[in-house]
Each structure stands twice: as C-alpha cells, then as structure tokens.
Structure 1
Amino acid sequence: MPTTRETILAALQARLQLLAATVLRDEVLPERIPLAGLIILRDGQPGEPEVTLSPLRYHFQHRAELEVIVQSANDRATAFDTLIAAIGTALAADRTLSGLCDWVEAEAPTSVDLPVEGALSLKAAVVTVVLHYTTADPLA
C-alpha cells in the first residue's frame, strides 16, 4: 500500500496530466521538448514536520518541484506564461487533491532562458508546489 506522501504526489501528477503539456515524474530532460511544453515533477522534500500529541500527528509542508520548460519558434514568453497560468488554474481547481491534502499552493516561478546549440532556446523555471498534509507516522 502506498504511503500518504506517494499517494499525494501521484494525485498531483494526475492533476497536472490534465494539461496539454507532457508531464513526467523524476525523469531526465528529454532530447526534444513537446510543442505544448514539458513539466517534470520532482518529489522534493517533505521537510521537518510539526508534531501534535494526543492523538500523535505529523503535519508536513512538503515542497515538491515542477520543472516547467517550453521551446517555441513563435513566442516563447507567451507559451511559457500560458503553461504557468494553466498550472495555477489546475491547482486552484482542486486545492485539496480530492481531499488528500489540507492545501496545495504554488510559489511564483523565476524563469530563465537557456540557449541550446543548433536549436531553439528553452524558457524554463522551477515552480515549487507546497503540499500541506497530515500523517499519523512520519514514514507513512
């Protein structure tokens, strides 16, 4: 049976797969970026939980990361902005991932342009997604 953490990360990935962009999890950057863009979900860090007693509960603010990448011949900035906005809309539509989390929120990205020799430049950013959830065991 998967842990709470794995269940939540899988639900986040499923939520993102509703977008037009290709969504991967913990994969290396492929040689080609799909036209609609690419999102690579990195598991990130659950961090140090806050603990409450009676009953014993561990409250995590897990920081997963989304590597968001576009490569477009037309307007890379617009394609990137559209994909970032779509991620925000997808997360806002279900802030609890169907009740698995207490709250899901994304932090603002800082984008960079990455030159690629012999190809179109990439526009990329890491978007941190904070997953607030509670477990009865730190390994659950």
Structure 2
Amino acid sequence: MPTPRETILTALYARLSALPATTLRGEVLPERIPSEGLLILRDGEPGEPEVTLSPLAYHYQHRAEIEAVVQGADRDAAFDTLTVSLGAALVANRTLGGLCDWVEPEAPRPVDLAVAGAASLKAAVIPVVLHFSTADPLG
C-alpha cells in the first residue's frame, strides 16, 4: 500500500497529465521539447514536520517542484498559456480529491535558455506546497 506522500504525488501527477502538455515524473529533460510544452514533476522535499502528540500526527508542508519548459518562436505566449493552465488545474481541486489538506502553487521564475543549433527554451521551476498529515513519517 502506498504512503500518503506517494498517493498525493501520484494524484498531482495525474492532475498534471490531464493538461495538453507532455507530463513526466522524475525524468531528465528530453532532447526534444514537445510543441505543447513539457512539465516534469519532481518529488521534492518533505521538510521538517510539525508534530502533535495526542493523537500522534506529523503535519507536512511537502515542497514538490514542477519544471515547466517550452520551446519555439513564440515561447513567451506558450509559457504563459502553460502556466495559466497549470494554475487553473491546481486551483480547481486544491485538496486533490481529499488526499491532502491544501495544494499551494508558488509563482514561477522563468529563465530563457539558449540551445546550440535550436530555438531557445523558456523554463521555470514552479514550487508546489502540499499540506498533509500522516500518523507515520515512513508509512
């Protein structure tokens, strides 16, 4: 049986996979970026939990990361479209179907990256804070 953390990350990945962009989880950046854009979900860092003792519970603010990448002549507009659709998908279901307490995306910090012999990339890491509680930090 998967842990609450894995269940939540799987639900987040499924949410991202419904977008028109190609979505990967924990993969390296491919050589070619799909025309509709690319999202790569990184599991991120759970951080130090707050602990309550009665009943015992660990309250996490897990910081996952989504790498958003577009390429092409109109990459500014494509990046904007991709991030707006990502934000709308997350805001539409802030609890991922009741699996976590709250999903909180943060603003991207886009950068333009030159690629030798190809169109430049526009990319950003978008932190997503997943608020949830569990009775066991390992299970």
CA–CA distance in structure 2, aligned partners of residues 76 and 11 of structure 1: 28
2:96 matches 1:97:
yes
Deviation at 1:6, TM superposition (A): 0.5
Cα offsets for 1:80-107 (capped at 9, x unmatched)? 0110010100000000000000000100
Equivalent residue letter for 1:98: G
> Over residues 22-46 of structure 1, what are the superposed CA-to-partner deviations in whole Å (9 max), with x where a residue is unaligned?
0000000001000000000000000
Distance 1:53 1:81 in 2: 44
Deviations 1:44-103 (A, max 9, x none): 000000001110000000000001000022x11010011001010000000000000000
SS at 1:83 equivalent = helix
Q: Tell me how far apart the structure 2 counterparts of residues 72 and 56 of structure 1 sit (CA, whole Å).
A: 51
Cα distance in 1 for residues equivalent to 2:110 and 2:116 = 19
Distance in 2 between the 1:134 and 1:47 partners? 13
Paired positions, count:
139
Could you list the runs of 5+ residues in structure 2 that have no partner in the other structure? none
Whole-angstrom CA distance in 1 between matches of 2:97 and 2:76: 32
In 2, the alpha carbon distance for the partners of 1:49 and 1:72 equals 41
What corresponds to 2:76 in structure 1? 77
The one-letter amino acid paired with 1:104 is: V
1:5 aligns to 2:13 (yes or no):
no
- Tell me which protein shows more strand as a share of its residues: 2
Q: Structure 1 stretches of 5 or more lacking a match?
A: none
Output the TM-score relative to the length of structure 2. Answer: 0.99
Once residues 38 and 72 of structure 2 are traced to their aligned partners in structure 1, the CA distance between those partners, rounded to angstroms, is 12
After TM superposition, the score normalised by the length of structure 1 is 0.98
Displacement over 4 Å in runs of 4+: none
